[in-house]
Structure 1
Amino acid sequence: MAYKKIYLALAITFCCLQMLQAQDLKLWYNKPAVKWTEALPLGNGRIGAMLFGGIENDRIQFNEETLWTGEPREYSRPGAYKYLDSIRQLLFQGKQKEAEALAEKEFMGLKSYDGEKAGWITKVTTDKKYAAVDFDDSKWATMTVPSWDGWETVGHEGLDGAVWLRKDFVLPNDWKEEDMVFDFNRIRDWDYTYVNGQLVGSQQNTEGRKYTVAKNILHKGKNTIAILVLNFSDKGGIYGYKDTVKHIGVYPVNNDAAAISLKGQWKYFVASDNPPPVGAYQASYQPFGDLNLKFSNTSSATNYRRELDIANAIAATSYRANGINYTREYFVSQPSQAIVIHLTASQKSSISFTAELSSPHKNYTVTKVNNDLVLSVKVRTGALRGESYLRVIAKAGTVKIENGQLIVANADEATIYLTAGTNYKNYKDITADPKLPCVNALASVTGKTYQQIKAAHTAEYKKWFNTFSIVMGDNKKASLSTDERLNNFSNGNDPSFAALYVQYGRYLLISSSRPGTRPANLQGIWNDLTNPPWGSKYTTNINAEMNYWPAELLNLSAMHEPLFDMISELAKTGKQTAKDHYNAPGWVLHHNTDLWRGTAPINAANHGIWQTGGAWLCQHLWERYLFTQDKNFLRNRAYPVMKEAALFFNTVLVKDPVTGYLISTPSNSPEQGGLVAGPTMDHQIIRALLQHVIEASEILNVDVALRNTLKEKYKQIAPNMIGKHGQLQEWMQDKDDPNNKHRHISHLWGMYPGSEINYDESPAMMNAAKQSLLFRGDEATGWSLGWKINCWARFKDGEHAFTMVKMLLSPVKGGAGSYPNLFDAHPPFQIDGNFGGAAGIGEMLVQSHTKYVDLLPALPAAFADGEVKGICVRGGFVMDMKWNAGKLVKLAVRSKTGNDLLLRYNGKVVTVKTKANTVYNFDAALKQL
């Protein structure tokens, strides 16, 4: 039997390998990256790198998964539960604003340490010499104003503090002497604005600034504006209106049409870059540093190519200069725990460059330790610090360190090793030695050749990647660069590009979520900003879960492990939140978490109090069991956590005074509608959780009394309801607006990723859910497009699902789509759309959320010809399937555990009694061969 298992595994691997060879598995470009969203991502789950591939200056921006702001601390507010009943009663009375005000004051979680601002503000505002008209600012640098989305976007990443900005402007001679309005748009956070040396206004918010300046302060000809901007955290500066057509400017009162634009270059001076800490509900993921490789004599370079080979997780840059062919290979090795870069040339003694380490973190240092360069960093607001070691091994030539640079001259070839580590041990302990991962990584490569290290890397990676393959159409358009294919996808016939996108999603998941690492965050593992969008955290009202939608379906079950590890940790910290905020047993997670596993309500009461983040995460534990049928996993890891989550809801559900149903409150429907009682999404998730716990207890033959209690509770939960517009109601009240185009489609959870709403058991609800999605429309942010692809697949509408695919695989032009490196655009970048899109295409090919396995349930005409191998379905089956002209040609199903198999295709249902570790073959009519 053991030999049969090995033979079967080898046969399946061989089939996948054959198909992989026919696949289009490269992203490639004919020019270097300029923007971060053009760079190519590499990662081993712990270390991430973004490769720019510059000819003269090759930037490698890198991350280490545990470098975050913050520190171990308490997140939950003791005694918050005392206000729970009052908040609920206000909501029952229709007093939403009052409920939100009380919750804002008494029910939110705790922030981190908030520094004392008054003394610092007094210090930086006392000296007003920089506002004087005759102040000499000729030596000041310049900054583009306004800087939409913050001065971080115009070269000042990480700049917080007190910054003076100055600009002269000319008042026209033909303007009448009258009061003038100065419109500075929005300023973050505080401003002290002077015109001709006189203070004309000051505000302490992020709203628009319009100051009326008396005519006696102004004069014809040159006038001087000086603004002291105090920015404590996040985006800073004069950052414009969302409507970028509206310029900052000056105009006579009641005559804004005559405005003089003040847009352009302003002089600036950083008076202080060390403001007091700002309290934050949760921490933010941080960049680590940059490696810059600088080359000379490259001005005549030709034949440039930059590529990412996702079959091997290796990137390459190549070009020809001065008659010599140069190649650089890059990968992030899991066995060696290092970024590895190998430089070669077609002529000996041709490899010469300098390597420099730097970091966006202030006060970083670069020192020499033996023959290595060491970058040391510390986050500004938190307790974490990190170290990165850089080593170069050259063949021939010379290697030396001078003035903080590692210099290589006239080598035949060179290999660079870049490592990283932090003092993070776990979410409660920061006593690790950040040098240790670096020292161990370099020790692991000592005495090995580059080819040995590369071989170990590719072998480790391929054992994950080679479990699945997909081909659709031909790969003729692989001769076009990836950015060209992206530009043309929505208008051309390129199904192979969609197949590449699926495999790229799998590549990104393997690269950002290996067993033993932290789970993929909002940007996977890649981030270059100290103030990343939404903190690059784990948003658990859709985004963190969407990251793992491909894991089981696309045969990457092991990549799910980091999420399960985080869930186990959250189940511990969430116990305290359940006690402090609800006086309840079990555990709870609201709509965000971070490295420190915060579980309390955050941000604001109108969206940050949402009870079912933990329950949604529990669905992933159950899905792992459904796909693998692993009872040991169910018994030892999944059920204990699911049970504790169910105990929480067994206590906190309350009776709705109008309907008598049990409902969830206070909560919201992410992310709109404010604080409410009884959002539909909550009830769908809670029903799913209780049902899964009931089924698991039956499978494991445990907790009979609890099982019976949950069965009774389940019956009393408010059901899905159809509203007056034929829509699935989002709330208890029938108040959905058909014109609401919100990106969140939270109340469709029960249809996808849940399964209680389906055509077999609840066709009327499916039609109502479809009506809701039609009202919401197709336009959306990137991750929302990913969700909608899956929804339209569940509606078995392949053409509409493909419309969503085309929108996702479109260039970013101010809205959603994909960046040149195929990163998903919210915008800005969020990786969840990559994962949601990949899963959605898989869902178009096979579905197994009911008792049936549906084959090609939502196949669009564009995907008429194809073959997939290694796709997984619930019940413990792995499938290979081929189709032509939109019709099934053949099917092979491997049964891992011997469950009954119910296949459905084209109206026909076939039931097969299977044996474990046996392959079953079928023809186009589902006749067993």
Structure 2
Amino acid sequence: MRLYLYLIVSVLSICPLGSALAQARVWFDRPAQQWQEALPIGNGRLGAMVYGGVGNEELQFNEETLWTDGPRNYNKKGASKYLQKIRELLDQGQQKEAESLAMQEFMGVKSESEDPTAWLDKIGRIRKQKHGPFEFSFDDSKWPLITVPHYEGWETEGLEGLDGAVWFRYDFNLSKNDLAEHWSLDLNKIRTNDYTYINGELVGQSAGDETRRHYQIPMGLLRTGRNSIAIQVINLEGKGGVAGYKDTKQSIGLKSSTGKLISLNGEWKYHIQDQSSPKIGSYQASYQPFGSLRLQFDHDVAENYSRILDLDKGEVRVNYAFKGVQYTRTYFASQPNNFIGVRLQADQKKKVSFRLALKTKHQRNELNHIADSSICLEAWVKNGSMRGTVFVKLKLKGGQLSYDGDELLVNQADEAQLYLSAATNFKSYQQLDEKYAAVALERFKKLTKLNFDQLYQIHQKDYQRLYHRFVVEFGGVNQLDTIPIDRRLQRAVEHADPGLVALYVQFARYLQIAASREGSQPMNLQGIWNPFLEPSWGSKYTTNINLEMNYWPTEALNLSELQQPLFQMIRDLHVAGAETAKEYYAARGWVLHHNTDLWRGTAPINNSNHGIWPTGGAWLVRHLWEHYLYTQDLHFLKEYYPIIKDATLFFKDFLVKDKVTGWLVSSPSNSPENGGLVKGPTMDHQIIRSLFDIFDQSSKLLVKDVQLRDSIMEMRDQIAPNQIGQHGQLQEWLMDLDDPENKHRHVSHLWGLFPGDEINTTHTPQLVEAAKRSLILRGDEGTGWSLAWKINFWARLKDAQHAYHMVKMLLRPAGQGGGSYPNLFDAHPPFQIDGNFGGASGITEMLLQSHINGIELLPALPEEMSTGKVRGLIARGAFQVNMEWKDNQLLEVTVESLAGEELHLRYASREVKIKTKKGRSYAFDQELKLKK
């Protein structure tokens, strides 16, 4: 697959900040100061963040297939011969031994590594010198400064893409009285190895990200007045630096025996000793940023500034006045023509002047001129097979265009149009395309000949075809739309803002349209927006909830076709996971563990205490089945039936009988990401039962595999059931091990409540109460996506006010815990997009549920959302629902039958069942009486 980025610059009319766009925009009255304040645009293949700077504008852009690594085999040959021994150790209660064996023999294969011994010896020689950076008197006056600590790595402080050896130095002062006390040095965590000196003497050295650095300082080493600390940090892969504490309120520093703390947080001096470190293999690849388009204007202070993400039009606009001239910039991402369009304009002639540059964080890059008005930037991903190319062309109305070195200069134009196109050498997860650049250039040339206005109209038609299917409104006219989004989030902490809740749902729909389109890759942990060479968790596809959560609301919010990228990934994983099933479990079918990437790795990764989790593929099958339930598309079910069947065959071979209980259990596995390697986690059994039910129902619908179906359903009844433990909770594991003080962000054992449905208020009231007890014990706090999951739980439990309380927590300004960044992006922290989609799903569940006994209207409607309306909400059974309510009472509802299925509608104590005809709409009053 070849992906291209086209950027056209131009300007549309200024949009007023009035009520016409109520609930349809996210806006600021100032430029972005950080990435989490920039506004996103995208078309599935291309993502960009608009900062909206007045004098200096940045458009940080990504291309969805620019990743580290390259096509390779992730599977360890013959790993299955250790499976039985791992199971036996778990049966014997020897968890650590099982984890140790699995870590050694049962993990995936890393990418290519080089022996670091010689390099480590070379960079270690400096520590043996008489005079080195560790010396008290060392002259560090010319060293630059960096903020220490940096929990997410020195990459966040500007040292992007740096792996190697770096020295840090800091001076602190002590009094004579201080010297009478015993002192220790608390640095908490360092990424990854350190040699730490006080006044030239080595006081400690450690290895590993998770090792706590707490070093005792010998008496007599410290001195009155100035003292120095020097640290050599050696980082071969991933994030680097002096990490300190995740809670930034807790300082690194010197601690005395009497409890005195001298904080070492602040500006340290640093020197990069060597960044030519050897290649270190990784289990899976990481999503990469591509580059930044920089525009420099001769503007400083702006008046009447606004930066608007217009959800109705699918575009970002920047408006401001400077010296009596009104300037406008418009940015949009077109899916049909695969480009990002931007137009720059002023309301007076000859006022558009700027300087343009292309930048990338990738160390190896090359910039060249093409013709009179174009530049080309090629970038290579470090230690991988991937490379990408960017083409930029400028067109002007009036004015002059010239080169200044690598930059393009525009002077006194009436309007500027900028075309930016990007492509990578990715062809498929199994193959690269080394001829990609020539093809990309030809497509770029063809695009730059097209009319901008026509391209814009095509984009509008395509985007609004999806966006306008659905309307939601809470609380009547949204008067709070005049408040910038960052201040609105702050206000919502103390004041109800139902309009903000509705906006959050539409923002999630916008993000889906922008990040997941036919032919693209599915959304990863950051969607398609990522600024870091070392993104958190590799910005991969985490399949023990996060990838799935990205697509929870897609069907209900009337965006069904946006799941196509996920379905294509499932097809790929079906192939890749078959080899993993064979090599690790000697099983038929296919398997996926808790993570995958662009290259479709399916083997266990990271650590055996959480990476050996075989039910990722089974969970993804649930998405195939949900698509059928929402669409009633039997042709789709027939197409994907082999994938469903093969996932079922894997668990037919994988499940084993527990010697103590006699139940069939999943072993080895874990309850993500809590409690280590175990047998029989509750979540697994819920997912496997769901998978078996899906196979049963789909095989009946397609009249296939009768004998296999019978054997599978016989096994289903032998799987370890849900159990209620000693605290009244739903047990997370086979044994009653739940700790009531455990506040872990994953609540995996409630999968059967949501997104599953075997725990429900209709058929399993006792399990519902146990699930509620588990939620109460686990607590409301959590990371952003965890808060979002809990909205769905409480909505399924029909506790409207608790569900709304979780919505407010998700919408609170991001801090140490989960919440929302100023641009409404979900905060893990750091940014993860899954919470945006999980939150939208939960809000939808508060309005309509269709997983048990037909369609239930307003099952969890809180007081704060007591008035509202929704149009275009989709329910299982292929029904489209429009409804309106006031003062917590339904006023009317209209249901369109999209497939001609029987309609079962419920509201409060009222219920109706009718036969329907495909394409016909049925209107009901508040009593659910059919209108004539």
Match of 1:209 among 208, 213, 218: 213
Give the C-alpha shift of residue 652 in structure 1.
Answer: 0.8
Cα-to-partner distance string for 1:200-241 (whole Å, 9 max, x where unaligned): 432222323344454565544444433221111222112213
The separation in 2 between residues aligned to 1:771 and 1:810, in whole angstroms, is: 25
Match of 2:514 among 495, 511, 516: 511
Give the C-alpha shift of residue 833 in structure 1.
Answer: 0.5
Identity of paired residues, percent? 51
Cα pair distance change 1:197/1:800, threshold 3 Å:
closer
Cα pair distance change 1:825/1:923, threshold 3 Å:
same
- What amino acid sits opposite 2:376 in the alignment? V
1:683-722 matches, within 5 Å, as: 683-722=685-724
Q: Which moved more, 1:615-624 or 1:783-792?
A: 783-792
1:909-924 matches, within 5 Å, as: 909-924=911-926
Q: Is the 8 A contact 2:364 2:381 kept in 1?
A: no
Cα-to-partner distance string for 1:343-377 (whole Å, 9 max, x where unaligned): 00011000011111111111222221223121211
The separation in 1 between residues aligned to 2:894 and 2:386, in whole angstroms, is: 51
1:363-762 matches, within 5 Å, as: 363-370=364-371, 371-436=373-438, 438-473=440-475, 474-636=477-639, 638-762=640-764
Report what 1:90 is aligned to: 89
Give the C-alpha shift of residue 309 in structure 1.
Answer: 0.5
Report what 1:908 is aligned to: 910
Cα pair distance change 1:499/1:177, threshold 3 Å:
closer
- What amino acid sits opposite 1:56 in the alignment? G
Give the C-alpha shift of residue 268 in structure 1.
Answer: 1.4
Give the C-alpha shift of residue 196 in structure 1.
Answer: 4.0
3-state DSSP of counterpart to 2:364 = coil
The separation in 2 between residues aligned to 1:236 and 1:446, in whole angstroms, is: 42
Using the size of structure 2 for normalisation, the TM-score is 0.95
Q: Which moved more, 1:335-344 or 1:236-245?
A: 236-245
Cα-to-partner distance string for 1:533-577 (whole Å, 9 max, x where unaligned): 111111111100000011111100010000000001001110011
The separation in 1 between residues aligned to 2:69 and 2:241, in whole angstroms, is: 24
Report what 2:75 is aligned to: 76
Q: Which moved more, 1:196-205 or 1:612-621?
A: 196-205
Give the C-alpha shift of residue 465 in structure 1.
Answer: 1.2
Cα-to-partner distance string for 1:611-638 (whole Å, 9 max, x where unaligned): 10000000000000000011111001x2
Q: Which structure 1 residue ranges, 5 or more long, are not aligned? A: 1-19
The separation in 2 between residues aligned to 1:171 and 1:624, in whole angstroms, is: 67
Cα pair distance change 1:434/1:167, threshold 3 Å:
farther
3-state DSSP of counterpart to 2:120 = helix
The separation in 1 between residues aligned to 2:252 and 2:498, in whole angstroms, is: 46
Q: Which moved more, 1:186-195 or 1:589-598?
A: 186-195
3-state DSSP of counterpart to 1:514 = coil
Q: Which moved more, 1:866-875 or 1:240-249?
A: 240-249
Cα pair distance change 1:676/1:314, threshold 3 Å:
same
3-state DSSP of counterpart to 1:783 = helix
The separation in 2 between residues aligned to 1:543 and 1:746, in whole angstroms, is: 12
Q: Is the 8 A contact 2:313 2:464 kept in 1?
A: yes
The separation in 2 between residues aligned to 1:724 and 1:248, in whole angstroms, is: 41
1:30-179 matches, within 5 Å, as: 30-127=29-126, 128=129, 129-176=132-179
Q: Does 1:249 align with 2:253?
A: yes
Match of 2:827 among 825, 828, 836: 825
The separation in 1 between residues aligned to 2:184 and 2:671, in whole angstroms, is: 41
Report what 1:838 is aligned to: 840
Cα pair distance change 1:741/1:134, threshold 3 Å:
closer
Give the C-alpha shift of residue 259 in structure 1.
Answer: 4.7
The separation in 2 between residues aligned to 1:559 and 1:879, in whole angstroms, is: 20
Q: Is the 8 A contact 2:114 2:279 kept in 1?
A: yes
Report what 2:242 is aligned to: 238
The separation in 1 between residues aligned to 2:445 and 2:465, in whole angstroms, is: 24
The separation in 1 between residues aligned to 2:171 and 2:178, in whole angstroms, is: 17
- What amino acid sits opposite 1:849 in the alignment? H
3-state DSSP of counterpart to 2:312 = coil
Cα pair distance change 1:245/1:308, threshold 3 Å:
closer
Give the C-alpha shift of residue 663 in structure 1.
Answer: 0.8
Give the C-alpha shift of residue 186 in structure 1.
Answer: 2.5
Q: Which moved more, 1:366-375 or 1:458-467?
A: 366-375
Cα-to-partner distance string for 1:360-405 (whole Å, 9 max, x where unaligned): 1112222212231212111113110111111111100011222111
Cα pair distance change 1:262/1:921, threshold 3 Å:
closer
3-state DSSP of counterpart to 2:584 = helix
Q: Is the 8 A contact 1:388 1:435 kept in 2?
A: no
Cα pair distance change 1:24/1:263, threshold 3 Å:
closer
Cα pair distance change 1:804/1:262, threshold 3 Å:
closer
- What amino acid sits opposite 1:237 in the alignment? G
Q: Is the 8 A contact 2:181 2:257 kept in 1?
A: no
The separation in 2 between residues aligned to 1:883 and 1:440, in whole angstroms, is: 54
3-state DSSP of counterpart to 1:731 = coil
Q: Is the 8 A contact 1:336 1:441 kept in 2?
A: no
Q: Is the 8 A contact 1:300 1:322 kept in 2?
A: no
3-state DSSP of counterpart to 2:377 = strand
- What amino acid sits opposite 2:303 in the alignment? T
Using the size of structure 1 for normalisation, the TM-score is 0.95
Count of residues in Structure 1 that have an aligned counterpart in Structure 2: 906
The separation in 2 between residues aligned to 1:349 and 1:479, in whole angstroms, is: 33
The separation in 1 between residues aligned to 2:274 and 2:285, in whole angstroms, is: 23
Q: Is the 8 A contact 2:181 2:258 kept in 1?
A: no
The separation in 2 between residues aligned to 1:915 and 1:212, in whole angstroms, is: 79
Cα-to-partner distance string for 1:499-555 (whole Å, 9 max, x where unaligned): 111010010011110011000000100000111111111111110000001111110
Give the C-alpha shift of residue 176 in structure 1.
Answer: 4.3
Give the C-alpha shift of residue 769 in structure 1.
Answer: 1.3
Cα pair distance change 1:898/1:233, threshold 3 Å:
same
3-state DSSP of counterpart to 1:86 = helix
Q: Is the 8 A contact 2:581 2:650 kept in 1?
A: yes
The separation in 1 between residues aligned to 2:909 and 2:114, in whole angstroms, is: 66
The separation in 1 between residues aligned to 2:804 and 2:260, in whole angstroms, is: 48
Q: Is the 8 A contact 1:338 1:441 kept in 2?
A: no
The separation in 2 between residues aligned to 1:734 and 1:208, in whole angstroms, is: 32
The separation in 1 between residues aligned to 2:705 and 2:21, in whole angstroms, is: 51
Q: Which structure 2 residue ranges, 5 or more long, are not aligned? A: 1-18
Moved over 6 A (4+): none
Give the C-alpha shift of residue 199 in structure 1.
Answer: 3.7
Report what 1:317 is aligned to: 318
Q: Which moved more, 1:192-201 or 1:500-509?
A: 192-201
The separation in 2 between residues aligned to 1:491 and 1:248, in whole angstroms, is: 34
Cα pair distance change 1:912/1:135, threshold 3 Å:
same
3-state DSSP of counterpart to 1:606 = helix
- What amino acid sits opposite 1:49 in the alignment? A
3-state DSSP of counterpart to 1:551 = coil
1:834-913 matches, within 5 Å, as: 834-913=836-915
Cα-to-partner distance string for 1:152-191 (whole Å, 9 max, x where unaligned): 2222222221112223344434554887544433222112
The separation in 2 between residues aligned to 1:390 and 1:882, in whole angstroms, is: 49
Give the C-alpha shift of residue 115 in structure 1.
Answer: 1.8
Report what 1:7 is aligned to: none
Cα pair distance change 1:490/1:248, threshold 3 Å:
closer
Give the C-alpha shift of residue 785 in structure 1.
Answer: 1.1
